[in-house]
Chains A and B, each alone.
Chain A
Amino acid sequence: MFRHIMVPVDLAHEERLGHALSVAADLARHWSARVTYVGVGTNTPGVLAHTPEEYTARLAAFAQAQGVAHGIEAAAHATIAHDPTTDLDDALLRAVDETGADLVVMQSHIPGLMDYVWPSNGGKIAGHASASVLVVRG
């Protein structure tokens, strides 16, 4: 059914990734699909890394660990945004095309008042991506 699953991850808030990681791994095993973990970094030093290379290495290590833990074929794809506060959705949508994934599994929060003003990233991706999108809550 699905051959390539993309999972956006925010390494600065790994604890908030919740069920998305295990859901993606389950689906990958079910369909023998490979998983690409996508991270959006900046070219300015950030919480996670001093340089883009450091960030890429960190994301690759994360993907490898996930692959080993869940017994799946895992890869990492890092992309940069000039202004991640506002460009995150666009960067992720670009990554969907770049990776050629046919399913996106991503974590989202339970919608609140502010989601009427600023839709969640999951909502925006589901609304615009060419691939199928599974938004995992909680």
Chain B
Amino acid sequence: MARRDRHIAPLNEPGINEPVITVHDLYKAFQQNEVLRGFNFELQKGETLVILGRSGSGKSVLIKCIIGLMKPDKGSINVLGNDILSLSVQDMDKLRMRVGFLFQSNALYDSMTIRENLEFPMRRHLSNLDADEVNKRVMESLEDVGLAHTVDMMPSELSGGMQKRVALARTLILKPEIILYDEPTTGLDPITGAEISDLIVEIQEKYQTSSIVISHDMKCVEITADRIAVLLQGICYAQGTYETLVASEDASIKQFFH
């Protein structure tokens, strides 16, 4: 993603009825293994789209391409009106302020306290905020996920579910317009997984974010999805609501739901 331009133009904005993310004809291969073979989808404003697929089908690769952590071999990705493949490093950083990413492994900085973890993105992007405002934002984000009491703890002192919540709080701290969730319930017990799924819905309703949730946890899919895109053999095999896909007679779709 690292095209370096000295000139920093203001970022584009999407039109009123335009999708916030458009992925067109996306290809990505790792040596002989083609994981994405012409994937297409659109994410509308305020919508939660679940990308459903088997392990190793390329779901995480897809959202890593969207956030610019991986470069696709072919195709186009438009995020909030910006073609991310042609953005400069500086513009990409500006765009990333508006797009949150929740990692499968949580990716909390284990040498920092929870407070420092949450302050980290703010120190770079909102350096004009005073200490009181920073503290207020940190506490507000932690309260959103019900973990205000953990503010001075280390990530290693928290359970897996709590770490996931803190990671979500860190994602929320910059108030992103889009949140990408990479398998948010993986590694959690069913009850904690359902709590995280409920939290995703609560956050979507509170902040009116648009979200992409990568998952193969059907409970999470059922709770969070406004619409589902099934990633099979590198393409968007089917799209629809949870109810329409549950009712599908297609054997490949059925295997996810039954």
Q: Do A and B come from one complex?
A: no
The residues of A with any CB-CB pair to B shorter than 8 Å are: none
